[in-house]
Amino acid sequence: MSSSILKGVRVLDLSRMLSGPYCSMFLADHGAEVIKIESGTGDTSRHNGPYRKDDPGHDWAGYFVSLNRGKKSIQLDLKSPQGKADFRKLAATADVVLENFRPDVMDRLGLSYESLAAENPRLVYAAIRGFGDPRTGVSPYGNWPSYDVVAQSMGGLMSMTGPDAQSPTKVGPGIGDVFAGMMMSFGILAALREAEATGIGQFVDVAMYDAMISLCERMVYQHDMTGAVPGPEGNGHPFLVPFGLYPATDGHVALGIVDDSFWQILTTVMNRPELGSDSRFATRAGRAQHAAEINKIVSGWSAEHSKAEMTEMLGGRVPFGPLNTIADIFKDPHVEARNMLERIKHPDPDHAPWTVAANPLRFTGQEQRPLPAPPRLGEHNDLTSTLDNVSAMDTKAKHALRDVFGSFATGVTVVTTRQDDGMPRGFTANSFSSVSLDPPLLLVCIAKTAHSRDAFVSAEHFAVNILADDQKEVSGLFASRSPDKFKLSKWHSGPQDMPLLNGALACFTCARHRLVDAGDHLVLIGRVLTHHSRDGQPLGFFRGAYFDLSLESSLVDAATQPGEGTIGAVLADHETVLLEEKPDGLVTVPKAPAAANTAQGIRDHLAKRGLDPKLDHLYAVFQNAQTGTHSIVYHGSVSGAAPKGLRFYGLNALPLGRVESDAERSMLRRYQREYRHGRFGIYHGTETNGIVHTISGQTEYNIPQEN
């Protein structure tokens, strides 16, 4: 099974045979984009076999299929100028370059780590060599070629393996390659973490010889502490007994009796309980001193039983397991339950799938997906032609993008994408931020509790839509969990099939660059692929409300000009609004008395009548075009019982038909709508038309005339 935990990591894999491909197999199995860079004849392992009977052309060697599932393949001649140029183009977009050549091969090709890092400073360059790289320590064997058997031999593993000192034995699997590859997969991930934090990559290397010494760490401390030279132990253990392989009537079984309690259980099952209490054998140290005697007793007992019989008697009670062949493994219920033998679909649907060893790592937070097929040689050669859109920007393009980034105050955005089935998804973000011009990067934040979080975490592309100041309702819609967001809004498909909102001031289509954990949010960083913008003012948001950063000079002038005017307030108590009732049945917002026509005057006037008003901010300024008088209305709240002449009306039951003036009637209608969004603007104009000011701009607003 595979996961997508490394999605977004691009690896250029120049390695051959086993060590490097095993390393990159682990990365590809968990979502990294691994691109094999192959010569004209391909990776050597394509020709190693074995081949199935339905493959007369020998296109799919088992060696290659097993190690290269889920990777891409590009053929490049690294000795040619075009091949070098294409490789550099790829490396400029890569997170990792992996190779297992001898030292200086890439340097001689003009593709050294240093030259690649000069063009891509965050690049992690990983090298698996027989005896390491001179950059990290010059070995006298540095230029020697090496394969698994050499690493096992020189690293001490074979000297400790086998029945006796006269019969050193190679471990069956290519552990000299495999273990070095596993070590390098860790090294790559560690270096990537550092690069993500600092923006600076590094050269990482592992020597197969060194990896074997690490694997055989026991012989090091034994020799250091005792002076002994550990030799083959057969199938036993130097300190623990019974510990190793023991005969059965149909094969062998393994026992690992370490704790004294396990010894007691084993002797009981053997119908030899007296051995459990025998002072010679009761402790671990005692058993080690009488290893030959104990091994003879246990072997004599086990040889009388089959593997299945001993599994029934000992399974789950002591550390025990039968010695399995691959035929046994194919039938084992554990292997089936853990899905450790995975079927990979053949690229040709007329051919049967392959069976390979699955990746043993499991992540509870990741959906387990089938392993993809290995690539045909050169299957993805056209990939290099798609890289122009991520090449370095010229000066003119940088200036254009900088102008777009700098055209907006921090405002409200809607971030959109498509989930795997093509359904559009989106959410409202209160800001976006440009991060870099070269490469062009921006970021948005996603709450970990967001309903669409998973869609954005797995998406390869997304779009950032900068809302205009007349798109409050759009913002509110995408801030909700309504399943009909896209049905209720106007949008179209843009580049990469990303949903783009009609009317937005700017839209940036991005490829996912990084996803970074940030407390209760995730930071989504995107590489800008395309963008477009139009003139206008953005929608802004602060402390739970849409607002203007400052009043324009014309609004200030209107609010402070001399002449006759009134000071009023729209005052709410939860979902009710306080209105003044006149003797003729008409209603109006409360106003300051003529003798104290100020904001403080209206506060004092209402306080004297037993109310507690609080004015929050300016809400409307309008001028009567015929009389020249102007009205200033504040927004605020009020508490207390309404005295005679004042009354609280429910927000949905305002007597709009009895409001004294058209301007106040339209203003109260606007208040109803804005209250539902919890965000308020400021109206400026005449009694018939004007502007609702928002964060840094304006919305045209026409007041309908009542008959």
Q: What six digits make up the tokens of 302?
A: 């086990």
- Distance (Å, whole) CA 435 – CA 146: 45
CA 446-393-200 angle, to 5 degrees, is 60
Question: Which segments of 299-365 are extended strands (E)?
Answer: 320-322, 341-344, 354-357
* Residue found by looking up tokens 């990159």 in the block: 24
In the set 29, 86, 133, 177, the catalytic residue is 177
Cβ-contact 536, 468 below 8 angstroms: yes
Do the Cβ atoms of 638 and 613 come closer than 8 Å? Answer: yes
Q: Angle CA(506)–CA(509)–CA(512) in degrees, nearest 5?
A: 135
Alpha helices in 113-259 (DSSP H): 113-119, 148-154, 175-198, 208-215, 217-226
Closest CA to 356 of 326, 332, 324: 326
Q: For residues 263 and 281, what is the distance between their CA atoms, to the nearest angstrom? A: 9
Residues in Cβ contact with 142 at an 8 Å cutoff, skipping those fewer than 6 apart: 103, 129, 131, 132, 133, 134
Collapsed DSSP state (helix, strand, coil) of residue 54: coil
520 is catalytic: no
294: its two tokens: 């104990």
Q: Which two tokens stand for residue 211?
A: 């990896």
Helix axes 208-215 and 175-198, enclosed angle (nearest 10): 100
State how far Cα 91 lies from the chain centre. 22
Instruction: Return the amino acid letter for 615.
Output: L
Count of C-beta atoms within a 10 Å radius of residue 292: 10
Cα separation, 216 vs 210, in Å, equals 10
Distances (CA, A) of 591 to 566, 579, 606, 612, 665: 7, 10, 9, 15, 15
- In our burial notation (b when 16+ CB lie closer than 10 A, e otherwise), range 483-503 reads eebbeebebeebbbebbbbee
Label the pairing between strands 461-466 and 413-418. Answer: antiparallel
Contact 683, 618 (CB under 8 A): no
Spatial neighbors of 678 by CB under 8 A, at least 6 apart, are 544, 545
DSSP-derived secondary structure letter, 160: G
- 236: its two tokens: 């036993």
CA distance 451 to 448: 9
Three-state DSSP at 358 gives coil
Active-site residue set: 177
